[in-house]
Structure 1
């Protein structure tokens, strides 16, 4: 089974903008999912994941569950992927390491990270990163570990694709401006 075969937990966006406030009602930037989860633009963790919440009479109550947007081919957010519960155990650098090295099984990932440790002795910072990632992965239950790897892979792959889309759009706008100024 590959990481692509791990079925994600995804909830569609019911509406953009979240009604907030008991007395002075207003709409906060964010998303309301079809399952009732509230995701506010202002509530993200240090790695850019949305922190889920419950909307109750204009109040936002954090649940601590992390979410990543799922986008269509045009970059529009259409749904959100609920991330593995243990994602918060890992720093952004550790998540990037998992993204780069995770291929199919937790055992292979831990083996790969551990195998390079002797070669990384000359670079203590990278050595410590690989060591801490491997040690934390050993504490994750096997079924949850594969979900974690699949979620991280999907999230960072999606972020890379969105970054490419944004750069392409910026380049197209720049080219249009240059053409217009050249025509004048």
Structure 2
């Protein structure tokens, strides 16, 4: 926590309604939550992150636990918002906006921008091609920094299932990276699909 205060003090202040304390919690968790939602293919990750923190704000008064428990609780809310978003999008057609504004795009050093985009594109491609359950486990373990047990609680799965999904997902990513092609993730993650080609 970047405030220099003990977590318990920040949490108590946030639960009492102190805006600075909630802002400290938000600043600490929002980048990872937004990244988790973005890498899961959320159409509007920033909007879903906002919905997540509205849920956090409304439920914070009844929260009990330490910093790691709070992190798990926040990612549970984020995951539920993501699932709700998938359901909503599945029920209505999506419109693509090709005239996206250039504001907020990288600028400055062209070489650095290109390398950042290539790295980001590879990460998105790798994550996007993993099966949803493997992607969820890996992102919650790495991005959210949750324990296997906490990931199991977020996803409603057993510890053994989480470990198996993590092992398969990491093996798939490692194979794709060793081959030098993130596109090979599909074949490694879905061997039966590769056999049908």
Shorter-chain TM-score bucket reads under 0.3
Structure showing greater Rg: 1
**Higher strand fraction (1 or 2):** 1
More helix by share: 2
TM-score where L is the length of structure 1: 0.24
**Normalising by structure 2, what TM-score?**
0.23
